[in-house]
Structure 1
Amino acid sequence: MKLTIHTFQLPLRHTFSITHESRDVMPSLIVELSQDGLSGFGEATETRYYGITLENMSQRLEALRPVIETARLDAPEAFWEHMRAHLADAPFILCALDQAAHDLYGKLHNTTVYERWGLSMEQVPRSNYTIGMASIPEMVSKMEDQPWPLYKIKLGTSHDLEIIKALRAKTDAVFRIDANTAWTAEQTLEYAPRLKELGVEFIEQPLKANDWEGMKQVYANCALPVIADESCHVEADVARCYGFFHGINIKLMKCGGLTPARRMAEHAKKLGLKVMAGCMTESSVGISAIAQLLPLLDYVDMDGAMLLSEDPAEGVSLDANGYASFSARKGTGAQLKKLA
């Protein structure tokens, strides 16, 4: 295989704010693995609050180039295990390589990833559209700029209920709340009944990731289901969340790619947990990979490419009802536009 590293500064439609940061541009690294005239693509975005930059990801990949380019692609899962031996401490890079390997393998064998897994897209969840934190007028404007049946609202302010009331006055859409670890157990239990009345479906990660005592209290008494995000990064975290959350949100970059994400989803289902997959602010390369998991999911947040004013890639997209529209290409269906 041949490794090619592409870097992009992805421009956002609006300033995107969460508890951790605000940004207008998302730096992204896209890995291309090529063999027999075909290419597979995978993505990892810069996340500075985790210490992940384009520079250190690129340097690590260059150092591993001889290992990557001499590896066999007998199966993406075997490739992932081979790469994990070198990248156990770098799940974002491992994710990009794993996505690219799944994409390339599918293209080489004329199958989509989900077909290879024996899955059907007949019944899958629709994606929410995310409204980042801003002033209430700005959040209302963002929502009205993108009519959608299902919104995820980023909270973590001193006036969170007022935000939801203002947005609810403008739409009948279903709401999901992502507090991004900003609340206490007491706040969560106080807010939840009112949020439920305002048409909120669930609350994502209300407490800090290590506040297990608080989550035990919330899990037992909350008027709404609670979904783990920051508390569930890797496979070992799935069992840890049982009895503290009603479901988990799987992020491909945090867990290391499609290979572990599929196992996490299957494990969660066996435990009776709801399963969600979420995205970063990323191009259609990463979104196309997430879409392969749809038949295993109860909820999905795969609007990352919609938050961009310019997408360097194409593949799986979302229709006006929030459902995935698939590319005719095999693998994950991803492709860089300049190579199309």
Structure 2
Amino acid sequence: MLRKLTARGERWPLSRPFRISRGVKTQADVVTVEIAADGAVGMGEATPYGRYGETTDSVLTQIEGVRAAIEAGASREALQVLLPAGAARNALDCALWDIEAKLCGRTVAEMIGAPEPRRMVTAVTISLDAPSVMGEAANSLSGCPLIKVKVDANDPVAAVRAVREAAPLARLIVDPNESWSVAQLEVWQAEMCALEVALLEQPIPAEEDRALERLKPLVPICADEAVHVRADLKKLAGRYQAVNIKLDKTGGLTEALALREAASAMGMTLMVGCMIGTSLAMTPALHVARDANFVDLDGPWWLAQDRENRLVFSDGWLTPPSHGWGMHAARP
């Protein structure tokens, strides 16, 4: 079956700045893919990430390099060989899932033999700022079941304490985005434990995580930048207790589902996360988030405006779109 591939970069302004230890974002720069065939269109979205050397232009160049194969009918399985894990493969892989669902008359959930995604708790993120400002943000989110706190190495304890005091009942994920040293982690993890932090996400640089083998964790430590695909799991044992699965890292839903299964078999705690993007990027991840221990898919919550088929966010809960990606027809 011949297909037509379209790929473009898009910019989606944020409603307020999003700060982490690496910098600040005021817009989401994404790559959107459309694959048209036999009257149907499958869509996918990915966010190029500078941490991995990606830009909008580099991702579009990767996609252009496999255009002929995709338009000639390359399968999702073939795509895993054509491109490495990353944003370009993610956008294409998700578009291939979507077009297949629309052409075969089954939803993606039916294709993978799982229930349709349902309303679920998602983390809502408090971006890096002065502790007093972060406490104010937490106060407005105090009814949310799960809050993610972005910190750096500049007095993170004060920031987390301010959030904890404002939201005493919420589970907390603390994310330093690789900004701590091993020595700082050894000191601060006791404070994180005292503040009842549920998960500590990638506190030290992934390249230095061998040091975690000698650390006795007081709070479960989650691999983010340290894990992209199944092949990375073999080095995580003895270092991490959890893994954060992101489709932009795995290169799409196909590998994300496989990583989820492999990590579960190892007894790892499962987290499903995201980059900042629209609901088109989050919807495929809902199929990985099913029964995950932690879900962090609030990317669209930061946007000034989302796509038409959007996730609905309310008090730390997300509701899947009623139609659109991965569904052959609108739900009744």
- Whether these two folds match at TM > 0.5 is yes
Letter in 2 for 1:20: R
Question: What residue in structure 1 maps to residue 57 of structure 2?
Answer: 55
Question: What residue in structure 2 maps to residue 206 of structure 1?
Answer: 203
Question: What residue in structure 2 maps to residue 176 of structure 1?
Answer: 173
Mean Cα displacement is larger for which, 278-287 or 165-174? 165-174
Correspondences of 1:280-319 after superposition (within 5 Å)? 280-295=275-290, 297-319=292-314
For the aligned residue pairs, the C-alpha RMSD in angstroms reads: 2.4
Contact 2:101 2:108 in 1 (8 A): yes
Matched, 1:150 2:146: yes
Question: What residue in structure 2 maps to residue 96 of structure 1?
Answer: 91
Correspondences of 1:162-173 after superposition (within 5 Å)? 162-172=158-168, 173=170
Contact 2:76 2:254 in 1 (8 A): yes
Contact 1:288 1:332 in 2 (8 A): no
Question: What residue in structure 2 maps to residue 26 of structure 1?
Answer: 28
> What displacement does 1:144 show?
4.0
Q: What SS does the aligned partner of 2:115 have?
A: coil
Contact 1:28 1:282 in 2 (8 A): yes
Question: What residue in structure 1 maps to residue 9 of structure 2?
Answer: 7
Question: What residue in structure 2 maps to residue 127 of structure 1?
Answer: 122
Give the number of aligned pairs. 326
Q: List alignment gaps of at least 5 residues for structure 2.
A: none
Contact 1:3 1:32 in 2 (8 A): yes
2:329 and 2:196 map into 1 onto residues whose CA distance is 35
Select which of 59, 64, 67 maps to 2:66.
64
> What displacement does 1:138 show?
3.0
> What displacement does 1:184 show?
2.5
1:85 and 1:160 map into 2 onto residues whose CA distance is 41
* Residues 93/288 of structure 1: CA separation in 2 closer, same or farther (3 Å cut): same
> What displacement does 1:182 show?
1.5
Question: What residue in structure 1 maps to residue 47 of structure 2?
Answer: 45
Mean Cα displacement is larger for which, 299-308 or 122-131? 122-131
* Residues 149/45 of structure 1: CA separation in 2 closer, same or farther (3 Å cut): same
* 1:77-123, Cα deviation, whole Å (9 max, x unpaired): xx2332233322x6210110001111121122233222321122588
2:163 and 2:48 map into 1 onto residues whose CA distance is 31
Question: What residue in structure 1 maps to residue 235 of structure 2?
Answer: 240
> What displacement does 1:260 show?
0.7
Letter in 2 for 1:166: A
1:317 and 1:170 map into 2 onto residues whose CA distance is 24
Correspondences of 1:253-268 after superposition (within 5 Å)? 253-268=248-263
Letter in 2 for 1:40: G
Letter in 1 for 2:230: E
* Residues 136/334 of structure 1: CA separation in 2 closer, same or farther (3 Å cut): farther
Q: What SS does the aligned partner of 1:55 have?
A: helix
* 1:130-152, Cα deviation, whole Å (9 max, x unpaired): 11112223323433455522111
Could you tell me the percent identity over the aligned residues? Answer: 29
1:123 and 1:327 map into 2 onto residues whose CA distance is 10
Contact 1:326 1:333 in 2 (8 A): no
> What displacement does 1:51 show?
2.4
Question: What residue in structure 2 maps to residue 116 of structure 1?
Answer: 111
